[in-house]
Amino acid sequence: MSKTSIIIPVHMAKELLGKCIASIRNHTDIPYEIIVIDNGSNDGTDEYCRKERITFVSLPWKHAVSDACNLGLRLSTGENLLLLKHDVLASRNWLSGMLQGLNSQEDIGIVRPSLTPIQIHLNKHVADEDVLERCILFKRDLLNKIGFLQTPQLFADRVFHDYCSRASQAGYQLMIAGKVKLNPDSTIERVAAHTP
């Protein structure tokens, strides 16, 4: 089975990162690697990564999320590429569910998870924007075809959404498949679960 590179950009959130990584380790039984991009933190994230033997890069100051993600993509070795924010908790079968969706059709470009139970829906990428901006999965072939992430001119925090739009413009389908949770300790507002 092909390996998935899980790239996690993080800034000043060591405790949430620890919970995220613990959930990945507890709920992922297929090949993966974790790459943390410590985006200018001074909270001990680098020491945590060393202690946990996690591949990481510690940037000296905070960069744009797109730049941090692109650095992780350049370091990755997996055929499948997953960009994940540090406040996401993996659930049982989360990655296998997303990979099933990604490999279900040739024209699937990007898969994102849902907060609802495992399901597969095509082109439902405009709802659950908060989840979309926290986790996307795609193949290296897509990266080779449409390039690296860019920072949108209007909404710099919608980097993943922008990448999905570029994939869609290139003729790829977008899909919801798999389930994750938002960390209950996160300072973000919890997204209400719904059935698309």
Query: 109: domain CATH number?
Result: 3.90.550.10
Q: What is the pLDDT of residue 187?
A: 45
In a domain, 168, yes or no: yes
In a domain, 172, yes or no: yes
Closest listed residue to residue 105, CA positions, set 24, 175, 191: 175
Q: What is the pLDDT of residue 104?
A: 92
pLDDT means per 10 residues, the chain with 196 residues, are 94 93 94 96 94 95 93 97 92 90 93 62 44 86 96 75 93 86 52 29
Q: What is the pLDDT of residue 17?
A: 95
3-state helix, strand, coil in the chain (%, to 5): 30, 25, 40
* Domain ranges, residue 20: 4-182
In a domain, 194, yes or no: no
In a domain, 26, yes or no: yes
